[in-house]
Amino acid sequence: MKTRKPLKSAMGWSTRDRITVRGHDLPSELLGKVDLGGMAFLEIRGRLPDAREAETFNAVLITLVEHGMTPQAIAARLVNLAAPEALQAAVAAGLCGVGSVFAGGSEQTAKMLQTAFDGPSDATPLPELAARIVDAFVAQRQPIPGIGHPLHKPIDPRTPVLFAIAERNGFRGRHIALLEQISDRAASRLQRELPINATGAIGAILSELDFPWRICRGIAVISRAVGLVGHLAEEMRNPVAREIWERAEEEVFETRDP
């Protein structure tokens, strides 16, 4: 007979008179005492952040909440137009677009940085390690995660602020240093401006905070969910989704093949 694995979870449970989350009593230990960022940290890491971690992690979360009328925001607004009774479906539609191009690039950056320090690479000087990484991406004709931005040049204005927050809290370490070396090496090799973008900075900072790279896109999902609800709130006050849909339909129809 097959032995079944016991079903266990340390996330949370309830009794008649108690609600426990990650070992903390929700009403007496968390409500009014922990902000949303701290709660997210607790859920993911299993412990509350200290003051330095809390400031750094909250800055990361805030960075990705809003970036204008992105494809994710447009998708959420259009789904809300089609199904206004299901706000959660509209938010979910937008979150499906948290990927390598918009908001989710921190995952690829964190993976690149964290795997670079696996094994014998630990002792490799950072400039040499950065050169290997850049040369490998260039040889494979793949974009290098975490650097370059179509609009923000020669610098992404979010990056120095994020790095300053990380530094004053003691989290400006080898992952950030390596990403800076990668940016410099890539700019020199490819002869164009390739600043560290916000998702790259976030991937490096989350690596400094010891978040595994596989969870980093989830941090973007948390942030962008807030922004998408904000877009839907604006859509209720000032609808634009129908205009987007009708103009797209009209202009596509006008340019249809004869």
Token couple for 11? 């996330």
At residue 99 the predicted structure's pLDDT band, cuts being 50, 70 and 90, is confident
Q: Taking 90 as the threshold, does the pLDDT of residue 151 lie above it?
A: no
At residue 70 the predicted structure's pLDDT band, cuts being 50, 70 and 90, is very high
Pure H helices in 83-125: 87-95, 106-116
pLDDT in tens, 236-247: 999 999 999 999
What residues are paired with 14 via a beta bridge? 19
**Do 136 and 35 reside in the same domain of the chain?**
no
**Do 35 and 89 reside in the same domain of the chain?**
no
**Do 34 and 79 reside in the same domain of the chain?**
no
| Whole-number Å distance between alpha carbons of 64 and 57 | 12
Q: Please give the tally of structural domains in the chain.
A: 2
- Note whether residue 72 is domain-resident: yes
| Whole-number Å distance between alpha carbons of 22 and 30 | 11
- Note whether residue 56 is domain-resident: no
- Note whether residue 208 is domain-resident: yes
pLDDT in tens, 40-49: 999 999 999 9
pLDDT value at residue 152: 77
Q: What are phi and psi of 99, to 5 degrees?
A: -135, -160
How high does pLDDT run on average in the chain?
Answer: 93
pLDDT value at residue 253: 77
**Do 33 and 77 reside in the same domain of the chain?**
no
| Whole-number Å distance between alpha carbons of 21 and 46 | 10
Distances (CA, A) of 147 to 43, 182, 199, 214, 224: 30, 8, 9, 19, 21
- Note whether residue 159 is domain-resident: yes
**Do 40 and 110 reside in the same domain of the chain?**
no
**Do 172 and 117 reside in the same domain of the chain?**
yes
Q: Which residue did the predictor score with more confidence, 180 or 251?
A: 180
| Whole-number Å distance between alpha carbons of 71 and 11 | 33
Q: Largest alpha-carbon pair distance within the chain?
A: 70
87-95 and 216-237 helices cross at what angle (nearest 10)? 130
- Note whether residue 54 is domain-resident: no
At residue 161 the predicted structure's pLDDT band, cuts being 50, 70 and 90, is very high
- Note whether residue 2 is domain-resident: no
**Do 124 and 171 reside in the same domain of the chain?**
yes
Distances (CA, A) of 4 to 10, 11, 13, 32: 19, 21, 22, 40
- Note whether residue 57 is domain-resident: no
At residue 57 the predicted structure's pLDDT band, cuts being 50, 70 and 90, is very high
**Do 43 and 151 reside in the same domain of the chain?**
no
Tell me which residue range forms the domain holding 248: 65-258
**Do 116 and 21 reside in the same domain of the chain?**
no
In sequence order, what DSSP letters do the residues of 197-209 get, joined into one string?
A: -HHHHHHHHHHHT
Distances (CA, A) of 45 to 40, 42, 212: 8, 5, 10
| Whole-number Å distance between alpha carbons of 30 and 21 | 9
- Note whether residue 95 is domain-resident: yes
pTM above 0.85, yes or no: yes
**Do 39 and 164 reside in the same domain of the chain?**
no
**Do 231 and 141 reside in the same domain of the chain?**
yes
Q: Report the 10 Å Cβ neighbour count for 167.
A: 13
pLDDT in tens, 19-52: 999 999 999 999 999 999 999 999 999 999 999 9
**Do 146 and 174 reside in the same domain of the chain?**
yes
Check which CATH number belongs to the domain holding 105 and give it: 1.10.230.10
Q: What are phi and psi of 184, to 5 degrees?
A: -65, -45
pLDDT value at residue 257: 64
